Amino acid sequence: MLQFLRKFWSFDYTETSQADRTTRWLFPILYVVIVIVVLLMATTPWSPMTLADKLSFFMLDAAVLFLFLALLLLARKGHVMLTALCLVSLVYFASMLPSLVLFGSIRAPNIAGLFVLVPLTALLLGKRATIHVLWVSVVSVVVLYVLEAIGVTQPNLTGATGLDTLLLITIGIGLNAVLLLTALHIADEHAARSQAAAAETAAANTSLRQSQAELSEIKEQLERRVVERTAELDHVNLALQHEVAERKQNELRFRRLAERSPDLIGILDLPAQQWIYVNRESLFGRPLAQVATSGTWFDWIHPDDRGEVEAQWRSLDGGIGAFQGVEFRMSRPDGEWEWLYSRVTMLTGDAGGAPLQVLVTVTVVTERKMYEQELKTARTRAEESVRAKSDFLANMSHEIRTPLNAVVGMASLLDETTLTTEQHEFVNTIRISSEALLALISDILDFSKIESPAFALELGACDLERLLTQIVDLVSLEVNRKGLELICEIDGSVPPAVRTDEHRLRQILLNLIGNAIKFTDRGEIVVNLRAEPLAPGEARLWLTVSDTGIGVPEELQGAIFEQFAQADSSHTRRFGGIGLGLAISRRLARVMDGDISVASRPGGGSTFTCHVDVRYDERVGVSRKLPDRAGQSVLLVHQSAAVRAFLARLLRAWGLAVQEAATLHEATALREGGMTPVLVMVDQVLVESVDSAALDALTGPAHLLVLISPQDRAARDRFASRAATGIVNKPVMAQALWNILSAQAQSRPLPATAPEPPAAAEGEIRAARILVAEDNLVNQKVILRILQRGGYEVDVVANGAEAVDAIATGAYDVIFMDVQMPVMDGLQATRTIRSLPELARQPYIIALTAAATEVDRHACLTAGMDDFIAKPAQAKDLLGAVERAVAESS
């Protein structure tokens, strides 16, 4: 029962003081009123009132009880302030309505409810609501008085209500409100002070608790630090004990090692000039006590070495920890000299850093010095041997090339005479064998030069397209002879000119392309050049050579880059060569900050990839376009898909529209289908058996461009006489093809690419006069016959002195100058000729030598020569050099 009453009486507080005060007073008031009403209802039957009055009173009490129970439920729902407002309103209306309705006067007893209303409002709703209720109450009393005074309401009480009654009631209500508000204000101040004091007390308690916690934490930290420091001290003490023990062991170990060491090891006290410790008592039979004094020490040192030893000991004053070792010679008691190596290390020093004690180690190195001297002697001998071998190779090259020049020259002359088919085969065999021997000699010389430590690159400007064109010219004869297709494509990323060693780059490319030609019997060889930028002005040049040849097994791909190695010995017998080409190329590529790799499979061809680093000028290359041919249609007919793709890419890049066909039948079908090309490009192999009528039907009004091997004279003669027909030499180079198309677009005659120098007619004498300086009689005869067959007037002398005399007495346009000649060599003769003041016009001097190295070329050009030809020289080399001389002179 008590728990029920406690739960019933309990109520929830809020976070605001006014709401808490309302809650604290509202529920007791409601409970008290409800209890009073219940007691009144319970005592009504025993009252002296009439039955009708009892019923009326009971019903009134029941209504009041119901109303207050409703207010209690509303408050229990949490609407405390609303309940309080309703209670105040109920008291107000209970105080005013009877005076207005029943009594008609403010003198009615219910007016006393206003004196209850004001404190009740103050307790439940606060000061502001109390002031409002006060004004409402006063105004209500005044209004009721006015109504009674003007006769609107008729009082049921005896006597009229006076102004004094109004003032008394009003003053009573106001005084009641003032006293109550004052009490509330004082209570609020006391409550605020109590709350502030409580807050201060709570803050002080909190600060106290924090201080206690901090003190506890500090205490724990101090205890931990004491424990840790104690542990550290124990650890340090233990470490010191270990260190002392270890030092004792190290000292014992040092003494054992020092005593067993063949070196002299000692600790020297510098101020006292005494040995604190030494592992032996004497050095070369002399007591070490004598060595401790510098005067005696230096007397035994070789005079040439005393300066270095004195410098070492003087350096001790610098206070550095370790000093450079010094080697010197010391005399033995028997007068022999021993080589010693001395090292000094500072052990202790004073406050200024000057050493007090030093560790001295002296090692006898006489035997090592003897070995070093032997190694130097051996190295000198090896270098002399290498130089002798190089000189031997150069001399052998000269001696072999000189007679080989006669063999090659005579074979060329003999091949141009009237011979039978069998005799032509014999001559061709001589020529091929001579060229193979020349290639062999060149490979051996190149390999020996690369192996030399003095080998260095000669950097210069290099036009890559021109270089590739020159290489194609060199190999075109063999390519066309074997019926192969050679495709050379230069990517747009390649700079127009680079800075590299052009001669070595030519050698790499020539070796790779020559290898591909040698080991490919049918199909095509594709050469691709592209560039990869590295930094401003620097690029990596990628050279790729792919073929459809015999291929290389994977397990042998590493061996082919070794000297004197090929993929298989049977290849050496079948294809020839000694296996130096790839070894030379790889070593050259690595010297040029690059390398060469291979990807291949037997029967599936090979792809050799080489990269070298080059420098270049950052300028935009010339873009090839044919604006006059933009959009024109070209019919491309070629049996090789690779060649078709290459040529089609070129033509489309130049702005032409290309239709491709693999056979004449496909080309004819395209023509019959309505294609009207302005140019038909066809391979000579496809049209060599086609008559003129069929060819005219294929081309119609279009121009014809035929791809022909330079060696196929019959085909060239056939198409040279045909109207609107141009000839492109195979293999096709982009520059040559562009030149022909550009000339045709401008209505100029279509040139054949790479025209050969026209041969002189029988008995015709050309304008250029030539002097040949050559000491070998056979070579004189060969060169004389070749130049005379070319239509030139030629004189021959046997040495450089005769050449100088000949120049002084006769006018010559061109001089072929051998380098190695008796009396006066070619270099000295050239310098003498260049210094002759009486010459009206200097001749064009061409070096003709069997010494074919780059150093020899440089020496010739430095001496004043204009051109360089290596022996053995063929007819085309000699005549081509003369043509260049004539062209330059004109």
CATH level 3 topology of 456-534+544-614: Heat Shock Protein 90 (3.30.565)
243-257, 432-446, 748-762, 774-788: least confident range: 748-762
pLDDT at residue 637, rounded to an integer: 92
Burial class (CB in 10 A: 0-12, 13-18, 19+), 812: buried
Threshold 0.85, pTM exceeds: no
* Residue 828 scores a pLDDT above 80: yes
In the three-class reduction of DSSP (H, G, I as helix; E, B as strand; rest coil), residue 799 is classed as coil
62-71, 788-797, 867-876: least confident range: 867-876
Torsion of Cα atoms, 398 then 403 then 406 then 407, to 10°: -120
pLDDT at residue 764, rounded to an integer: 46
pLDDT at residue 569, rounded to an integer: 45
The count of other CB atoms within 10 Å of the CB of residue 503 is: 15
pLDDT at residue 335, rounded to an integer: 78
Whether the CB-CB separation of 330 and 312 falls below 8 Å is answered with no
Confidence of residue 613 (pLDDT cuts 50, 70, 90): very high
| Mean pLDDT of all residues in 130-149 | 79
- Exposure string for 598-627, b = 16+ CB within 10 A, e = fewer: bbbeeeebbbbbbbbebebeeeeeeeeebe
CATH level 3 topology of 769-889: Rossmann fold (3.40.50)
Q: Report in angstroms the alpha-carbon separations of 524 from 166, 472, 483, 572.
A: 134, 14, 9, 22
Q: Where is pLDDT greater, at 578 or 220? A: 220
Confidence of residue 648 (pLDDT cuts 50, 70, 90): very high
Name residue, tokens 């520059």.
Answer: 735
pLDDT at residue 470, rounded to an integer: 81
Whether the CB-CB separation of 682 and 695 falls below 8 Å is answered with no
* Residue 391 scores a pLDDT above 70: no
308-317, 338-347, 464-473, 720-729: least confident range: 308-317
Confidence of residue 4 (pLDDT cuts 50, 70, 90): very low
Question: What percentage of the chain has pLDDT greater than the value 70?
Answer: 77
Long-range contacts of 450-455 (CB under 8 A, 24+ apart): 450/584, 450/587, 450/588, 450/591, 452/386, 452/390, 455/591
Q: Does domain 264-364 have CATH number 3.40.5.10?
A: no
Spell out the domain ranges in the chain. Answer: 79-194, 264-364, 456-534+544-614, 627-745, 769-889
| Mean pLDDT of all residues in 69-85 | 86
**What is the distance between the alpha carbons of residues 820 and 850, in angstroms, rounded to a whole number?**
9
Confidence of residue 178 (pLDDT cuts 50, 70, 90): low
Phi-psi region of 577 (alpha: psi -120 to 50; beta: other; left: phi over 0): left
121-125, 617-621, 623-627: least confident range: 617-621
* Residue 438 scores a pLDDT above 70: no
* Residue 328 scores a pLDDT above 60: yes
Q: In this predicted model, what pLDDT tens digit does every residue of 257-306 receive, in sequence order?
A: 666 666 777 787 777 777 777 777 667 666 666 665 555 667 788 888 88
Q: What is the mean pLDDT of the chain?
A: 78
DSSP 270: T
Give the range with max mean pLDDT: 132-136, 279-283, 522-526, 810-814: 522-526
* Residue 568 scores a pLDDT above 60: no
| Mean pLDDT of all residues in 476-500 | 87
| Mean pLDDT of all residues in 385-410 | 68
pLDDT at residue 608, rounded to an integer: 92
Confidence of residue 93 (pLDDT cuts 50, 70, 90): confident
If you classify domain 627-745 with CATH, what class do you get?
alpha beta
pLDDT at residue 358, rounded to an integer: 80
* Residue 115 scores a pLDDT above 90: no
pLDDT at residue 348, rounded to an integer: 79
pLDDT at residue 572, rounded to an integer: 39
Confidence of residue 804 (pLDDT cuts 50, 70, 90): very high
pLDDT at residue 832, rounded to an integer: 93
Question: What percentage of the chain has pLDDT greater than the value 90?
Answer: 10
Give the range with max mean pLDDT: 148-157, 266-275, 278-287, 596-605: 596-605
Rg (CA), the chain: 62
- 456-534+544-614 and 769-889 share one fold: no
pLDDT at residue 623, rounded to an integer: 59
Q: Where is pLDDT greater, at 503 or 221? A: 221
| Cross-strand bridge partners of residue 531 | 541
Torsion of Cα atoms, 60 then 62 then 64 then 66, to 10°: -150
* Residue 721 scores a pLDDT above 90: no
Confidence of residue 756 (pLDDT cuts 50, 70, 90): very low
23-37, 167-181, 196-210, 861-875: least confident range: 167-181
Q: Where is pLDDT greater, at 24 or 547? A: 547
148-152, 243-247, 493-497, 508-512: least confident range: 148-152
Where do the H-state alpha helices sit in 688-825?
Answer: 692-699, 713-720, 734-745, 777-789, 800-809
